[in-house]
Structure 1
């Protein structure tokens, strides 16, 4: 019996009946492996030599335990647990991979006849917040729902692809908070804030996937390869993870689409002398990002001359140049919700395409706003 097939329950039963060496022999694993597994079980609450006999569920770890004894006999015990965030992330990714196996897959489509190898078109999408609902009279702006999100997000991407040169590479960067909420309750996972949602969570998933697939389809018409990066945001910690897994399966038969698979807070893109880092912006301040890039990408740092950080989160544009790196945050196409309106936030709404030259860095950019799309619709 190999280690990966041995469950916690099997280990507990074996240790109840046998000594450590006999239990390892019975389970068919090395005794050192068994000791490591037993230590892990102790962290989860199972350590009978300390009167701890009930392990907490997978995805949690033991926070503390209080035991009441009377005349040396255990009378009552209180077991306190807390969320094991790293383990829950592992379980979420495994579940997403299992569920995505039944999703339909996209067949390859014909690419452009010719492209420019030295150019890369970057499409940063700031905080789409798909699933958000806003009432214009309350927010003193435009009303917003999922129907409007599809029209504006898909329309802006199509318009930007039309404006962009036929760069060989395209990179679609979802800068985080693609989804407005992270669970069936319509709340964020980290803070527990209740969001204004347009419809059910299942509908939000369907619309969010539809919008991203349409963005990819638009980019495939002009660019030879399309890379997609889904940055983890504070509104969609798990949403960004399962969307990457689902998209990777959906485009498994399309070699022109590359879905970044790392469930990381920071992602990097290298194109000739250009290095781009992406992050949502909620866990690391801007002034620390140059050092993060230098540490994470030391070799790429030495190879490149033009370095950029692209961020979301704040919904407004800001550009600051540090030694060796420019840090930029991006606007969102989405209208402001009640929280933003009551807080006095009044950023512009737009989306950009940034054209990178492999030798000279950024050489041009194009901007599309929701008002421009209204003119097209009219």
Structure 2
């Protein structure tokens, strides 16, 4: 028995000292050597089966024992092997998701060793937020339809860039804004607009994106990693956002026979958008008067008689490019319609808000109810804060528009 790194007598000396003193620190002190040097000797001795079982080398475990018995059954020799202890049971770290797995496979096809790769992700946080949002909710109670509605009319309620969960301090930005203020503004505005709008048989609650300010609990923009000014916890914001959408739809049900809900993703809520739409669809699954579009597409289209509505958030496809895009993607509806509208959010300054009628489509970006965050306030952005409802006649296009200011 030998070790190229340590003479056998040094290994025996280390084992004897360790067994006598019971700890590597005391054994190293007794031998007058550094603890790290002593531990290397002890590990080398353990690999050669010299440590024995009393005590087992720290960080090691018994692997195999062999014995040699004499003619009368007496123990003549004993061999004991140790190996490094196994680590703790693997668990995906908080804030991570599994990215991939690699495995070493033996000749018999069985796994010898496996490697698990993880990356930062918000899936665990989203699953908790979904559970919190849906907890305690049964299918929505049925609301009686209105006594009279006009089948020629369609009313659209655009929700543009609410940025629920954003925090703004008036002394810094000119106006206070937090989760409570945002919630109150949307409920009040929706109630006002529903009361004033026509009794259209059909209606659309159309979220144009950035309904949520943050897409996960890291409170950064997903694409650039810019820090966000946030109010409250992500899970709380998601739950309140879900409840707000339910209230908006229930308000519309009091005025219209049928309500469609569409949540478009924005650059602030790419992932949360689909989760919200799926949760709302589950809530209204038993209500035939409510339809929820759970498509992950960044685009929406609705055809109503001679009218055509196309919508997107506006961070990628610009208003000036909408006409060509809409005509190319929905040529049948384009050819059947006379009044074509492109609805976007994302930009809210006065210059950008100018209505853009180009190549047969009237495109516009809507104002927001939200105040400015610190960055936009520092850049000097100015825009009115309001929300509108738009009513379209199947033969005459837009016939009504109501506005409520924040």
Q: 1:159-198, aligned counterparts within 5 Å?
A: 159-198=192-231
Deviation at 1:224, TM superposition (A): 0.5
Aligned partners of 1:108 and 1:255 also within 8 Å: no
Counterpart check, 1:114 vs 2:114: no
Q: Distance in 1 between matches of 2:193 and 2:185?
A: 12
Normalising by the residue count of structure 1, what TM-score does the alignment of the two structures yield? 0.73
| Cα 1:298–1:133 shift into 2, 3 Å | same
Count of equivalent residues: 302
Q: Which one of the candidate residues 340, 346, 349 is aligned to 2:376?
A: 340
Q: Between Structure 1 and Structure 2, which shows a larger proportion of helix residues? A: 1
Q: Which one of the candidate residues 216, 222, 232 is aligned to 2:249?
A: 216
SS in 1 for 2:215: coil
Deviation at 1:286, TM superposition (A): 2.1
Counterpart check, 1:349 vs 2:382: no
Q: Distance in 2 between matches of 1:111 and 1:17?
A: 67
| Cα 1:287–1:205 shift into 2, 3 Å | same
Which residue is 1:124 aligned to?
158
Which residue is 2:338 aligned to?
305
Deviation at 1:186, TM superposition (A): 1.4
| Cα 1:10–1:151 shift into 2, 3 Å | closer
Q: 1:11-50, aligned counterparts within 5 Å?
A: 17=108
Aligned partners of 2:215 and 2:222 also within 8 Å: yes
Q: Distance in 1 between matches of 2:306 and 2:135?
A: 38
Relative contact order higher in (CA < 8 Å, ≥ 6 apart): 1
Deviation at 1:100, TM superposition (A): 6.1
| Cα 1:123–1:56 shift into 2, 3 Å | same
| Cα 1:54–1:16 shift into 2, 3 Å | farther
Which residue is 2:359 aligned to?
323
Q: Which one of the candidate residues 176, 186, 191 is aligned to 1:158?
A: 191
Note the alpha carbon deviations across 1:30-79, whole angstroms, 9 max, x for none. Answer: xxxxxxxxxxxxxxxxxxxxxxx96856xx8xxxxxxxxxxxxxxxxxxx
SS in 2 for 1:310: strand
Runs of 4+ in 1 over 3 A off after TM superposition: 9-18, 53-57, 99-103
Deviation at 1:229, TM superposition (A): 0.8
Deviation at 1:303, TM superposition (A): 1.3
Range that drifts further, 244-253 or 199-208: 199-208
Deviation at 1:14, TM superposition (A): 9.1
Aligned partners of 1:123 and 1:352 also within 8 Å: yes
